[in-house]
């Protein structure tokens, strides 16, 4: 997210996480106008995530400190050593992986010790932001040891399928973007309200079952 007024509206919905993209080539790049004072004032119950793509470790640490980020999401070709180094400096790490038929889930073993969460997105021409779901059947190859965010083409029409999938997979959360935007980096608050309502009703039903 990048517009303060829009962020304020989303914060009122009390999401678990809110993301800020620090990758200059992304149409969702936060830019230079994001108020660090405001971002720091976001309630602690909402975890702030900075998204980086093959960024310099010093830059990541600077942004974590500047905006009081709780997580760094690494969405490029970052190696396990970088994850380890950042984590040793107190940064929680979400490592993103782009999934297609050829993805080798065994390589995740190299990252497990140095990441708090994984994120599985759809492989495409861009590092994220492709707006299409991958074949979730591929997740049957995953050993389920590390909880993960599911990303890529998530919308209101497939949220029921994701809720069903979460009964057999350690889906920690969903990462929503293009299907819930009016333009890149600007969320459609009405659609988010619908999403939150669906998910929270399901949670309540399961708690009462």
Is the pLDDT confidence value at 136 over 80?
yes
N-term to C-term CA, the chain = 36
pLDDT digits (tens, 9 = 90+) for 9-29: 999 999 999 999 999 999 999
The DSSP secondary structure of 21-56, one letter per residue, reads: E--TTSTTB--S---HHHHHHS-TTSEEEEEESS--
Q: What's the pTM value of the predicted model, to 2 decimals?
A: 0.95
Mean pLDDT confidence for 37-43: 97
Is the pLDDT confidence value at 209 over 70?
no
Any idea what the CATH number is for the domain that residue 158 is in? Answer: 3.20.20.70
* Number of C-beta neighbours around residue 41 at 10 A: 10
pLDDT digits (tens, 9 = 90+) for 65-80: 999 999 999 999 999 9
The total of structural domains in the chain comes to 1
Domain that holds residue 30: 4-208
Q: What whole-number distance in Å separates Cα of residue 144 and Cα of residue 141?
A: 9
């Amino acid at each position: 997210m990048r517009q303060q007024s829009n962020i304020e509206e989303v914060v009122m919905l009390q999401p678990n996480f809110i993301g800020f993209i620090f990758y200059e080539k992304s149409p969702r790049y936060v830019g230079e106008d994001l108020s660090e004072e405001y971002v720091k004032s976001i309630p602690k119950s909402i975890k702030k995530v900075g998204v980086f793509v093959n960024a310099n470790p010093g830059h990541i640490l600077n942004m974590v400190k500047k905006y009081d980020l709780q997580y760094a999401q690494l969405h490029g070709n970052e190696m396990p050593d970088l994850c380890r180094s950042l984590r040793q400096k107190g940064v929680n790490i979400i490592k993103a992986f782009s999934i297609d038929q050829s993805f080798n889930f065994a390589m995740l073993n190299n990252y497990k010790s140095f990441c708090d969460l994984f994120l599985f997105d759809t492989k495409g021409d861009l590092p994220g932001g492709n707006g299409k779901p991958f074949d979730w059947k591929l997740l049957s190859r995953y050993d389920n040891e590390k909880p993960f965010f599911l990303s890529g083409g998530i919308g209101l029409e497939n949220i029921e399928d994701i809720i069903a999938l979460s009964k057999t997979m350690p889906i920690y959360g969903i990462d929503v973007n293009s299907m819930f935007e009016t333009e890149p980096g600007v969320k459609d608050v009405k659609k988010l309200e619908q999403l939150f309502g669906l998910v929270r009703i399901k949670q309540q039903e399961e708690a009462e079952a």
